[in-house]
C-alpha cells in the first residue's frame, strides 16, 4: 500500500489529483467549442456534414461501385467502349486508364522500350529521397546528381550500351515533367541566390543587371519565354548550329524560376536584423564567409514556406511546354483521349493525372513542413 500511495500524485490538501474532464479538454471539447457551440453553429455543422456525406457517397458510387475497370478489344485492337458509354455519368470508366496509362506516362516513346523511362522515373524518386537526407548535404551529393544525370541521358537517348537510339521528339509523359521540374529548379535555386545577393550589392553595375533581369523576366508570362526559346532563340545561333528543343525549354524554365526565387531569397535577406551583419563584420569575416556561414543559413530558414510554394507552382507550370510541342504528363493525358473510341472520358484521365501531380506536390509540402520545424526548432525554446 505504501508503494501505491507514494506513486499516486496528490494535491497540496492530500487528495489524489484527477485529470480534467473530457468535456473540458481533448477532441470532445474541441468539437463542442468549434462545431456545436450554439444553435447556428450546430445547424451549419449538420448541413455541411450532410452535404459532405452525400458527396463522398456519390464519389464512391461513381469511382468504385459502378466503375468499369476494363473493356474487351476486337480483332483490330480497338477497344469496345459500349459498356462505358451505357454507364456514362453514373460510373467511371477506368478502362481508359488501364488501356492508355503507358501512353500517358511515357508518351510516344517506343512501346518495347518503356522500361527505360520507367527506370528514369525511379531514378528521380531515388534522387529525391537521397537529396532529402541531411547527411548527404555536402560534396557527396554532387557525384550523385552527376551520375543520375548521366544515367538519365543514357537511358532516354540510348545509342550506347546496346540501347536503341530514341530522338527527343519521341519523349513524353512523366519523365519530361520530372526532367523539366527537377533540373529547372535545381539550377534556378543557386541562380536565384546569386541574383538576390546581386540586388543587395553595393556595386551599381551588378545591382542594375540583377534588377533588370528580375524585372524583365517577371514582367512576361512563362509562355512567352518558352515561345522565344523555341522560335526566336535559334535565329541568333550561328548557321548550322542547333540546340535541342527540350534544352531550350529547360533554359527558359531555369531563367523564369530563378527570377521568382530570387525575390523570395531577397525577402529572407531583408528580414534579418542589421545586427547580424554588424556582428559578422566585427568578427573580421570576408564577404563570402559572412554570407555563406551567417547570413544565408538564417535567411533561407525563414523563407522555406514561400520557397516550397514556388517549387510546387513551377512543378505544375511545366505543363505549359505544350506551347512548343513537348509532350509532358498533362499533354500526354489530353492526347490519350483524342482517339474516337475514348472520347468523352476525359474526367477519368484528368483524375489519374491529377493524382500523380498530387503525390509529388504533397510530398514536397510535407517534407518542407518537417524541414522547417527542424531547422527553426531553436526559435520555439
Q: Which residue has the higher pLDDT, 111 or 77?
A: 111
Q: What are phi and psi of 327, to 5 degrees?
A: -90, 95
Give me the residue label for grid cell 531515388. Answer: 126
Residue 304 pLDDT more than 70? yes
Output the CA–CA distances (angstroms, integers) from residue 28 to 25, 34, 41, 373, in the order listed: 7, 10, 15, 28
Return d(Cα 210, Cα 194) in angstroms, integer. Answer: 9
What is the residue-averaged pLDDT of the chain? 87
> Does any domain span residue 31?
yes
pLDDT per residue over 317-359, tens digit each? 999 998 888 889 999 999 988 888 888 888 999 999 999 999 9
Residue 179 pLDDT more than 90? yes
Q: What are phi and psi of 219, to 5 degrees?
A: -85, -5
> Does any domain span residue 132?
no
SS3 state at 74: coil
% of the chain exceeding 70 in pLDDT? 90
What pLDDT is attached to residue 316?
Answer: 93
Predicted TM-score of the model (pTM): 0.85
Q: Give the pLDDT mean for 159-178.
A: 92
Q: What is the CATH number of the domain that holds 265?
A: 1.10.3720.10
> Does any domain span residue 205?
yes
What pLDDT is attached to residue 276?
Answer: 85
Report which of 227, 220, 221 is spatially closest to residue 249, judged by C-alpha positions: 227
What pLDDT is attached to residue 1?
Answer: 45
176 and 308 within one domain: yes
How many domains is the chain built from?
2
What pLDDT is attached to residue 76?
Answer: 67
Return d(Cα 233, Cα 130) in angstroms, integer. Answer: 36
pLDDT per residue over 189-224, tens digit each? 999 999 999 999 889 999 999 999 999 999 999 999
> Does any domain span residue 87?
no
> Does any domain span residue 303?
yes
Return d(Cα 261, Cα 213) in angstroms, integer. Answer: 12
Is 187 within 8 Å of 257 (Cβ atoms)?
no
> Does any domain span residue 30?
yes
> Does any domain span residue 179?
yes
What pLDDT is attached to residue 80?
Answer: 76
Lowest-confidence segment of 77-81, 220-224, 226-230, 263-267 by average pLDDT: 77-81
Which residues span the domain enclosing 349?
166-380
Report which of 326, 333, 322, 325 is spatially closest to residue 357, judged by C-alpha positions: 333
SS3 state at 332: helix
Is 195 within 8 Å of 258 (Cβ atoms)?
yes
> Does any domain span residue 322?
yes
Amino acid at each position: 500500500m505504501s508503494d501505491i500511495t507514494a506513486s499516486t500524485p496528490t494535491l497540496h490538501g492530500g487528495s489524489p489529483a484527477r485529470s480534467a474532464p473530457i468535456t473540458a479538454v481533448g477532441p470532445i471539447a474541441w468539437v463542442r467549442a468549434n462545431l456545436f457551440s450554439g444553435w447556428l453553429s450546430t445547424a451549419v455543422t449538420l448541413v455541411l456534414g450532410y452535404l459532405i456525406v452525400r458527396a463522398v457517397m456519390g464519389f464512391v458510387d461513381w469511382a468504385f461501385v459502378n466503375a468499369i475497370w476494363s473493356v474487351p478489344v476486337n480483332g483490330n485492337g480497338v477497344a469496345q467502349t459500349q459498356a462505358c458509354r451505357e454507364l456514362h455519368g453514373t460510373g467511371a470508366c477506368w478502362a481508359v486508364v488501364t488501356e492508355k496509362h503507358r501512353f500517358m506516362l511515357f508518351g510516344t516513346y517506343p512501346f518495347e522500350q518503356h522500361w527505360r523511362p520507367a527506370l528514369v522515373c525511379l531514378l528521380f524518386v531515388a534522387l529525391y529521397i537521397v537529396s532529402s537526407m541531411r547527411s548527404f548535404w555536402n560534396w557527396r551529393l554532387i557525384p550523385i546528381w552527376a551520375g543520375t544525370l548521366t544515367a538519365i541521358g543514357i537511358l532516354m537517348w540510348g545509342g550506347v550500351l546496346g540501347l536503341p537510339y530514341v530522338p527527343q521528339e519521341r519523349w513524353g509523359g512523366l519523365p519530361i515533367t520530372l526532367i523539366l521540374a527537377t533540373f529547372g529548379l535545381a539550377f534556378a535555386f543557386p541562380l536565384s541566390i546569386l541574383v538576390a545577393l546581386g540586388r543587395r550589392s553595393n556595386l551599381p553595375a551588378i545591382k542594375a543587371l540583377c534588377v533588370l533581369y528580375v524585372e524583365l523576366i517577371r514582367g512576361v508570362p512563362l509562355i512567352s519565354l518558352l515561345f522565344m526559346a523555341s522560335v526566336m532563340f535559334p535565329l541568333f545561333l550561328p548557321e548550322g548550329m542547333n540546340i535541342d528543343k527540350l534544352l531550350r525549354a529547360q533554359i527558359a524554365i531555369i531563367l523564369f524560376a530563378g527570377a521568382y526565387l530570387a525575390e523570395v531569397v531577397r525577402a529572407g535577406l531583408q528580414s534579418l536584423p542589421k545586427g547580424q551583419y554588424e556582428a559578422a563584420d566585427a568578427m573580421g569575416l570576408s564577404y563570402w564567409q559572412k554570407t555563406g556561414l551567417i547570413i544565408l543559413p538564417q535567411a533561407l530558414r525563414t523563407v522555406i514556406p514561400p520557397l516550397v510554394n514556388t517549387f510546387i507552382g513551377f512543378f505544375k507550370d511545366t505543363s505549359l511546354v505544350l506551347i512548343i510541342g513537348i509532350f509532358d504528363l498533362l499533354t500526354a493525358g489530353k492526347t490519350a483521349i483524342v482517339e474516337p473510341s475514348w472520347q468523352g472520358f476525359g474526367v477519368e484521365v484528368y483524375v489519374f493525372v491529377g493524382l500523380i501531380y498530387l503525390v509529388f506536390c504533397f510530398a514536397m509540402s510535407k517534407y518542407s513542413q518537417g524541414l522547417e520545424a527542424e531547422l527553426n526548432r531553436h526559435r520555439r525554446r
